[in-house]
DNA sequence: GATGCCAGTGAATCGACAG
DNA sequence: GCTGTCGATTCACTGGCAT
């Protein structure tokens, strides 16, 4: 199994931009080989006539040839095909992010569910500086929608909860993200000074996605690579990327852009990790190592209960026997209990959570 | 034509709550007779086991029978049928609002487009006080999605641009609406003191929708009437409503609720605007947005300490890791520390407080 | 009356792993 | 694949009651 994956990974065209149709190119890649896919598929915009600002200057709308689709049926077929190809190359625990607007996201979201992907969250990118609705006939279209989905219901995709919490000043990251659109220095211009790609995404958006849902060294594929924002941020953050882009002019823009980017140093790539990633320490080890002794009393954090430690690392309190978790849960009448934070021992009259002792052991383990 | 509509309108059961299946009830109404439809269909949540909060209390989940569907196919069939019935009774320039979450909104949105509705905007209801993700395994599901669509591409639905602009402190109303969920006094309780309906929507949401997309005297139909928020707000705002609700207990709740409501006088229809607090800017956003980079050094205001920035917006200094506030406090041996004023970055040899960057972001946010 | 503390709760697809 | 066990995990707001 491990060997197969290594072999598959060895065949991947890492940190390259593939030329051609994304469905064909994805079909040529080995299955179960990619950790994350970020996709910004063409929008099914149906602009009737040109859109003008109040001063009659023309708005540079997204009206390139590749963005026109005859009907929902054609668009749906296209969506189903690229999603199927994308799903094949994803690792079993891989995930996908798709971004879209109301023109296409309901089609894409349905196709994604039908293909077997399992939605984890949808995320709203709130633009801090959206284009106003010049004619005053609608609400300002101030957001785009992203869908984050695992390859299947059974998938266990990477989610760096603590890192995203840190990015959000210590409170859970929500499903609505306020970020500016890509303009100013970041917006790539061509030789004529015009924007090199009509829908260049901001790097801040990809930063949050990549920090939140990949680990360093992961492979991120973008089937609609465009100006290469995915590749640029992946490189900065020490991830590998695979880009697919049909249009030569965009490939050229992206290649030049990514060449000029340097990876952040290793230490700053580390992000806050979850306790779940820490090695498990059985409570019995505290007894074996003499940090606590059989016969010692433990006291509940709320002071209402006490229990005695037995030689095998179980507790006994009245008629309750079992692990620190089981006895804690039973005494509290709770469905479950984290014994590590529930129980305290006394040292010079002071109650100290037994988790302090576990931390000590873990620090020793790290030192060795 | 005008005569036909008058005749049709005369047959409408205005300001009543119809009992029965919404598809049958809508099919019994005359075509082209309703100005607006607001629909809050079942979300098809697929919940597995129980969920407990970290304090071990059990979450009261939406596990009612009316939200159970066997498959996407069954749910899609249901959506297509009620949308078809809804579209028939809409006036040619009528419009529909549908609300949903990621579980169902992509299905509903696709069905709506397939039925011939024309999406005008999608609107994100950002909850100011959503339920957190208790297990820390996903993003906080902090929003729901609403789709606003005309009966057809040719429809010219009512849009009270100026009224919404006034509601929004004089700037164009955006497609993301920050409103609290329905609780406190507004949340209707049954005789046992329990919530009378599991998914009662806040009146503020309906207020904005009705002010923005109907005129006084319009007829608003809600095929999933529930606790009757649509009817309550319609009555307050001088619109007529038609409710359809299958469950007797909900009809009873709604009837009693609406009976106690008085129509606003004309002058008081414009509600007071909410004051905007200074938005919170997480330090991580400076990193995501490239204003500071992972690996960059920060220096303390007093010049005694330095720290390095990591990709998730935490700092690292010797053995200290954590937020700008935590690391600052640790280095100073202080109980707390305002990292925004404590840390500086260097630009052309000059030390500049990072708070300058936050001010820049806030200025941008205010400008839009 | 003002303030502070505690308890309660909201449309939720809410584990990982050994045996 | 199933079962049992370990043990990680929450934000904003409201209302009641004590101080």
Question: Which among A255, A218, A205 is positioned nearest to A99, based on CA atoms?
Answer: A205
Is strand C less than 7 A from the beta carbon of B200? yes
**Cα–Cα distance between B117 and B124 in angstroms, integer?**
19
Residue of B109, B148, B293 lying closest to A106 (CB–CB): B109
* pLDDT the model gives residue B351: 95
Which residues of chain B neighbour A108 with C-beta distances below 8 Å? 106
* pLDDT the model gives residue A107: 97
Residue of A114, A186, A268 lying closest to B72 (CB–CB): A114
Question: What's the whole-number average pLDDT of chain B?
Answer: 92
**How many cross-chain Cβ pairs, A to B, lie less than 8 Å apart?**
210
**Encoded tokens for A51:** 């859109």
CA dihedral A266, A271, A275, A279 (to 10 degrees): -10
- pLDDT tens by residue, B276-322: 456 789 999 999 999 999 999 999 999 999 999 999 999 999 989 99
Question: Which among B295, B294, B314, B318 is positioned nearest to A273, based on CA atoms?
Answer: B314
* pLDDT the model gives residue B263: 86
* Burial of A110 per CB tally in 10 Å (0-12, 13-18, 19+): buried
Q: Is the pLDDT of residue B268 over 60?
A: no
Residues B186-204 as b or e (16 or more Cβ within 10 Å = b): eebeeeeeebbbebbbbbb
- Given a contact cutoff of 8 angstroms between Cβ atoms, the answer to whether A264 and A207 are in contact is no
Residue of A159, A162, A168 lying closest to B284 (CB–CB): A168
Which residues of chain B neighbour A112 with C-beta distances below 8 Å? 106
> What is the distance in angstroms measured between the alpha-carbon CA of A95 and the sugar C1' of C19?
30
Which residue is closest to B291 within chain A, CA to CA? A204
**Cα–Cα distance between B56 and B58 in angstroms, integer?**
6
Crossing angle between the packed helical segments B72-89 and B105-114, to the nearest 10 degrees: 50
DSSP per residue, B307-326: EEE-TTS-EEETTEEE-HHH
Question: Which residue has 């030689």 as its token pair?
Answer: A311
Q: Which of residues 27-56 of B touch strand C (CB under 7 A)?
A: 40-51, 53, 55
Distance of residue B273 Cα from the nearest chain A Cα, in angstroms: 18
> What is the distance in angstroms measured between the alpha-carbon CA of B247 and the sugar C1' of D1?
41
Question: Which among B239, B229, B243 is positioned nearest to B269, based on CA atoms?
Answer: B239
Q: What is the mean pLDDT of residues B168-197?
A: 94
Distance of residue B63 Cα from the nearest chain A Cα, in angstroms: 19
Distance of residue B95 Cα from the nearest chain A Cα, in angstroms: 13
> What is the distance in angstroms measured between the alpha-carbon CA of A322 and the sugar C1' of C19?
19
Residues A282-311 as b or e (16 or more Cβ within 10 Å = b): ebbebbeeebbeeeeebbbeeeebbbebee
Distance of residue A265 Cα from the nearest chain B Cα, in angstroms: 6
DSSP per residue, A136-178: SSS-B--EEEEEEEESSTT------HHHHHHHTTTS--BSEEE
Q: Is the pLDDT of residue B242 over 50?
A: yes
Q: Is the pLDDT of residue B1 over 80?
A: no
**Encoded tokens for A114:** 């039908």
Q: Is the pLDDT of residue B4 over 90?
A: no
> What is the distance in angstroms measured between the alpha-carbon CA of A40 and the sugar C1' of D10?
33
**Cα–Cα distance between B106 and B100 in angstroms, integer?**
9
**Cα–Cα distance between A295 and A311 in angstroms, integer?**
8
Nearest residue: Cα versus C1' of D7: A338
Residue of B175, B311, B314 lying closest to A140 (CB–CB): B175
Is strand C less than 7 A from the beta carbon of B140? no
Which residue is closest to A164 within chain B, CA to CA? B312
Which residues of chain A neighbour B148 with C-beta distances below 8 Å? 139
**Cα–Cα distance between A102 and B120 in angstroms, integer?**
9
Is strand C less than 7 A from the beta carbon of B232? no
Per-residue tens of pLDDT for chain A, all 368 residues = 333 444 455 589 999 999 999 999 999 999 999 999 999 999 855 444 555 555 666 666 666 555 445 588 889 999 999 999 999 999 999 999 999 999 999 999 999 999 999 999 999 999 999 999 989 999 999 999 999 999 999 999 999 999 999 999 999 999 999 999 999 999 999 999 999 999 999 999 999 999 999 999 999 999 999 999 999 999 999 999 999 999 999 999 999 999 999 999 999 997 888 999 999 999 999 999 999 999 999 999 988 899 999 999 999 998 899 999 999 999 999 999 999 999 999 999 889 999 999 999 999 998 87
């Amino acid at each position: 199994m491990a060997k197969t994956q290594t072999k598959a990974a060895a065949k991947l065209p890492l940190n390259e931009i593939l030329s051609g149709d994304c469905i064909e190119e994805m079909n040529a890649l080995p299955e179960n080989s990619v950790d994350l896919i970020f996709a910004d598929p063409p929008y099914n915009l149906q602009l009737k006539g040109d859109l003008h600002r109040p001063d009659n200057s023309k708005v540079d709308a997204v009206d390139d040839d590749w963005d026109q689709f005859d009907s929902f049926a054609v668009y749906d077929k296209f969506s189903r095909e690229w999603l199927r190809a994308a799903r094949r190359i994803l690792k079993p625990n891989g995930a996908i992010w798709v971004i879209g607007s109301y023109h296409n996201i309901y089609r894409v979201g349905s196709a994604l569910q039908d293909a077997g992907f399992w939605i984890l969250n949808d995320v709203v990118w709130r633009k801090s500086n959206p284009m106003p609705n010049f004619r005053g006939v609608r609400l300002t279209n101030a957001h785009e929608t992203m869908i984050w989905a695992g390859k299947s219901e059974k998938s266990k995709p990477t989610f760096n909860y603590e890192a995203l919490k840190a990015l959000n000043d210590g409170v859970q990251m929500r499903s609505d993200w306020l970020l500016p659109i890509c303009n100013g220095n970041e917006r790539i211009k061509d030789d004529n000074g015009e924007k090199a790609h009509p829908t260049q995404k901001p790097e801040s958006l990809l930063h949050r996605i990549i920090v939140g849902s990949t680990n360093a060294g992961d492979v991120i594929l973008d089937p609609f690579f465009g100006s290469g924002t995915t590749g640029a941020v992946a490189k900065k953050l020490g991830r590998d990327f695979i880009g697919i882009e049909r249009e030569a002019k965009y490939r050229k823009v992206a290649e030049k852009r990514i060449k000029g980017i340097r990876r952040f140093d290793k230490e700053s790539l580390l992000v806050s990790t979850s306790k779940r990633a820490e090695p498990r320490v059985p409570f019995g080890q505290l007894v074996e190592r003499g940090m606590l002794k059989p016969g010692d009393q433990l006291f509940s954090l709320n002071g209402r209960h006490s229990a005695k430690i037995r030689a095998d690392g179980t507790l006994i309190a009245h008629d309750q026997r079992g692990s620190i978790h089981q006895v804690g849960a039973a005494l509290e009448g709770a469905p479950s209990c984290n014994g590590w934070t529930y129980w305290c021992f006394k040292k010079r009259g002071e109650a100290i959570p037994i988790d302090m002792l576990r931390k000590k052991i873990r620090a020793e383990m790290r030192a060795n």
